[in-house]
Amino acid sequence: MVGPISPTAPRGDAAKARPGAGGKVIDIFLVEDHQLVAEALTMLIDAEGDMHVIARVGSVADAAALAPKIQPDLLLVDFRLPDGTGADVARLVRKQHQRVVVVFLSVVSSPAMLFAAVRAGARGYLLKTQSAAETVSALRRAAGGEMLIPSATLAQLVADQGEFGHLMVKLTPRERELLRLTAEGLDNRTLAERMGIGYATLRGHMRNLIGKLDAHSKLEAVVKATELGLIDR
């Protein structure tokens, strides 16, 4: 897990120009929980003359604690974190800094993850398989105002919004409770006891829940629900 690094002294708003414009250095807040990746990204970014990692943490909790103390131009955040998702980080950082540019970083991409990222205000979604040159170019373009997610992809996400947006409506109160408790890592016997229902009834609820989320297992159902923001934190 990545521990926080001390931020540089924040500059006042008067000194901040549009990111990437007029020789302005792009101040980047990096949220990445894998130490090696975080260090490599920091070195990559700091080697560029027009961008700099001003702070780096590895969890939602650390990002929440540090966000009020810094003035980032761009938030570069991993989608999956130990205590939540990049979408959680994006929402809390944007509350503190409304004009911050948000770019997600992940090993994989899925429609659900892209939808959650866009809903959280993402301007870009980068894969860790991209080259160093592609990554710094994308950060520079996003900071300069470019939307990196293709318009065709955005259109498809909008078309699919009804499907994603109505998932919670489809879930019964029991299924929502089951989803929340399952995310705590409880086994089926314990889940049944906590919910005050029989084991067979519990299995029926679980089958319905997995089916509604178009998942293939209990774990996949939790992952999808987390990506879509269906589990309260």
9-63 tens-digit pLDDT: 344 443 344 445 456 899 999 999 999 999 999 999 999 999 999 999 999 999 9
Burial class (CB in 10 A: 0-12, 13-18, 19+), 48: middle
Report the C-alpha gap between 40 and 156 in whole angstroms: 33
d(CA 229, CA 90): 13
Given CATH 3.40.50.300, say whether it is the number of domain 13-156: no
In whole angstroms, give the CA distance from residue 228 to residue 112: 6
Domain limits, CATH 1.10.10.10, in the chain: 166-227
Residue 8 — pLDDT band, cuts 50, 70, 90?
Answer: very low
Q: Evaluate if pTM is beyond 0.75.
A: no
Tell me which of 70-79, 161-170, 200-209 is least confident. Answer: 161-170
Which one is predicted more confidently, 45 or 181? 45
Fold category of 166-227 in CATH: Arc Repressor Mutant, subunit A (1.10.10)
| Residue spans in the chain of domains classed CATH 3.40.50.2300 | 13-156
- Block residue for tokens 């892209």: 114
What are the tens digits of pLDDT across the range 135-176? 999 999 999 988 887 766 666 665 565 555 555 547 788 888
User: Angle of helix 218-227 relative to helix 199-212, nearest 10 degrees?
Assistant: 50
Give CA–CA dist 101/103, Å, rounded: 7
